[in-house]
Amino acid sequence: MKRNATAVWNGTGKDGKGIVSTQSGVLKDNQYSFKTRFEDGIGTNPEELIAAAHASCFSMKLSFNISAEGTTPEEINTKADVNLNPEKGEIDTIHLTVKVKASGLSQEKFDELVADAKENCPVSKVLKGATITIDAELL
């Protein structure tokens, strides 16, 4: 299974601008620039897109884990905070905050399933260069 996205950039790194689109068309010619990445400009940026990918992948993996225990999760709400360290020029930390409504799970089992999802969702695996932390709450 392959997915793709395209990005077109025009101009210098600081003064130029670009557009990003996805194969599905969910993103189509969405603008990104120095201001959207390092300031408060309108548009998206690579870190925001990584955060969206990580939050959605983690939520789905956790859903599979919980379902394998015979419980259907009512809701999994995940926020991913991705930190780009400008001095190092790298994404150094990602913090996941997850709140889950699912009856019938012990706290111990929930913690085990969360840890597995954190380690084994495909996006977590590709982001191993960053320190990934998590706060998880079973509601």
**CATH architecture of the region 46-138:** 2-Layer Sandwich (3.30)
Say what the pTM is: 0.93
Q: Tell me: the pLDDT tens digits for 113-139?
A: 999 999 999 999 999 999 999 999 999
Check residue 112 and give its pLDDT.
97
With 0-12 / 13-18 / 19 or more C-beta atoms within 10 angstroms meaning exposed / middle / buried, residue 66 is buried
What's the half-sphere exposure (Cβ side, CA atoms, 13 Å) at 63? 12
Residues of the chain within CATH 3.30.300.20 domain(s) are 46-138
